[in-house]
Amino acid sequence: NDVLENAHMERANGTIKNEYLNRWEIKSEKELSRRLNAACEGYNNRAHKSLSKKTPIEFELELKETPENKRAVLEVFTVEKSIHNQNQLTLFPGL
């Protein structure tokens, strides 16, 4: 696997880990699951500067309503500078 493909997810995972999970003393798998759900809920419901101060949920809903030909294009490249998986950013397959 090429790490560059997952840079956007690695950033989200890092934020959840560093801003939420590392601040809590987690003592069981059940508590980890509960805290992880709380962290994801917090992350997805707070405004993000990179999303024009929208929450990820608001951004996704707006994107879903935007015709595909009107969406900004984001290309994710591999180390070889070629597009490896052209459909990896497809949020709504079949639409």
Domain ranges of the chain: 3-70
Please tell me the predicted confidence (pLDDT) of residue 95: 47
In whole angstroms, what is the distance from residue 12 CA to residue 17 CA?
9
More confident residue, 90 or 1: 90
Give the pLDDT score at 91.
57
Distance CA 81, CA 10 (A): 19
Q: Taking a C-beta distance cutoff of 8 angstroms, is the pair 20, 46 a contact?
A: no
Q: pLDDT for 40-73, tens place per residue?
A: 898 889 999 988 999 989 998 998 999 988 888 7
pTM of the model: 0.60
Residue 93: predicted pLDDT: 57
